[in-house]
A = this chain, B = another copy of it.
Amino acid sequence: MSLAHALLTALTEHQPATGFELARRFDRPMGYYRHATHQQIYQELGQLERRGWVSTHRDPEDFRCKYYRILPAGHEELLRWVHTPTEPAPLRESLMVKLRADSLLGPFALQDEIQQRIGQHRQRLEQYRLIEQRFFAQTPPATHQQRMQQLILHTGMAYEQHSLEIFAQLLEALQQAQDPPAPSDRAE
Point out residues on A near B: beta carbons under 8 Å: 2, 5-6, 9, 12-13, 30-35, 78-79, 82-83, 85-86, 88-110, 112-113, 116-117, 120, 144-145, 147-149, 151-152, 154-156, 158-159, 162-163, 165-166, 169-170, 173-174, 177
Contacts and interface: CB of A to CB of B under 8 A. Distances in A.
Contacts of A107: 144, 148
Contact of A33 (B96, B113, B145, B158): B96
A145 B104 contact: yes
Contact of A32 (B83, B91, B95, B145): B91
Q: Which 4 A-B pairs have the closest CB atoms?
A: A103-B148, A162-B162, A33-B96, A35-B90
Q: How many copies does the complex hold?
A: 2
Contacts of A148: 99-100, 102-103, 106-107, 177
